[in-house]
Each structure stands twice: as C-alpha cells, then as structure tokens.
C-alpha cells in the first residue's frame, strides 16, 4: 500500500512540476511589439507586477516539486512537506488570482476606472498570457490534488490515534 501511495505522489508531483514549468515559460516568453497611431508599443510580462509574481511563484513551485520527490516517505521531513505543500498551494492560488484579475482588466477594461482594454492592440500577447494562466491553473489543480491526497493518507480514519 505504501508503494502505491508513493507512486501516486511521485506521478502527481512530476505532473505538477511540468505544468508549473510550462506556466512560467509561457508567461516569460509572452512578448509583442506593435504600433498604434505611429507610437511603438511593447507588451511584455515584466511590465506588470502580478505577472512577475506569477513567473517567480511557478518557477519556485517547479523546483520545489522536483526536490520534494527525494524526501524519504515516513521521515520527519515528510510531515513538514504536507505543511509546505499547503503554503505552496496558497502561493500558486495567489499568483493565478492576481494574474487572472489583471488579465480580465486587459481583456475587458474597466469603464468606471477609465482603464481601456489592451487585448485588441496586443492580441498575441494576451493569448500568451491566457495560455500561461491555463497552464498555471492546471498546476494549481494538481497541487490541490497532492495536498488532498497527502491529507487523506495522513488523516487515515483507520489510525487508532484519531
């Protein structure tokens, strides 16, 4: 049973690391130069603080997921891993939410605040950011599954302690 737990955990972590790497790479490579009324406009991820946070969070999540695979199961460190998993899941949720909030303004604008939508001018850039958002969301769901699976194993109803 322990071997099955271990296998499921490793597969989930590898998938999460791959999705996190994809999210960070797609966001970093989002770039578009266009001209509007003769003005050169350049759109890249580093112009928006939330997108920088997204890249850093997913790069850290990717490295963390790969490192945690080497933590021996049943060790004192493996109990700490459940807690760091929850922290990582929360950081990724924050990154996805902040990116989603800004991407929504980029797509729809906000007439009350006078913020115009920019996606019509930089269409490819917006699609790239949307791709990163989707990859990030997949990584987040995988993280959620990792956490739920760890909690299910740790909070074993058959255990006489609980």
Which chain residues interact with its own copies by CB under 8 A?
A: 42-43, 47-50, 74, 76, 79, 82-83, 86-87, 89-91, 93-102, 104-106, 110, 112-116, 118, 144, 147-148, 151, 154-157, 159-162
Rounded to whole angstroms, the Cα distance separating 81 from 102 reads 31
Q: Name, in order, each residue with C-beta under 8 angstroms of 32's C-beta and a sequence gap of 6 or more.
A: 42, 43, 44, 122, 123, 124, 125, 128
Q: Which is nearer to its own copies, 29 or 108 (CB)?
A: 108
Helices assigned H by DSSP within the chain: 2-28, 49-68, 76-108, 123-154
Q: How far is the CB of 12 from its own copies (least distance, A)?
A: 16
Chain-centre distance for alpha carbon 7: 23
CB 140 within 8 A of CB 93: yes
Q: Which is nearer to its own copies, 63 or 101 (CB)?
A: 101
Q: Which is nearer to its own copies, 66 or 102 (CB)?
A: 102
Q: How far is the CB of 160 from its own copies (least distance, A)?
A: 7
Q: How far is the CB of 52 from its own copies (least distance, A)?
A: 11
Q: Which is nearer to its own copies, 26 or 88 (CB)?
A: 88
Tokens of 50: 């939330």
* β partners of residue 34: 41
Q: How far is the CB of 118 from its own copies (least distance, A)?
A: 5
Q: How far is the CB of 92 from its own copies (least distance, A)?
A: 9
CB 73 within 8 A of CB 2: yes
Q: Which is nearer to its own copies, 17 or 119 (CB)?
A: 119
């Amino acid at each position: 049973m322990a071997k099955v737990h271990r296998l499921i955990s490793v597969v989930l972590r590898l998938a999460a690391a791959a999705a996190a790497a994809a999210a960070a790479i797609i966001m970093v490579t989002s770039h578009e130069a266009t001209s509007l009324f003769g003005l050169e406009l350049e759109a890249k991820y580093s112009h928006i603080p939330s997108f920088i946070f997204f890249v850093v969070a997913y790069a850290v999540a990717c490295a963390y997921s790969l490192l945690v695979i080497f933590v021996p199961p049943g060790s004192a460190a493996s109990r700490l891993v459940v807690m760091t998993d929850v922290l990582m899941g929360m950081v990724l949720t924050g990154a996805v939410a902040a990116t989603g909030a800004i991407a929504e303004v980029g797509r729809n604008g906000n007439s009350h605040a006078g913020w115009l939508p920019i996606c019509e001018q930089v269409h490819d850039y917006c699609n790239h950011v949307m791709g990163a958002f989707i990859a990030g969301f997949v990584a987040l769901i995988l993280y959620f599954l990792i956490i739920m699976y760890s909690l299910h194993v740790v909070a074993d109803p058959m255990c006489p302690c609980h």
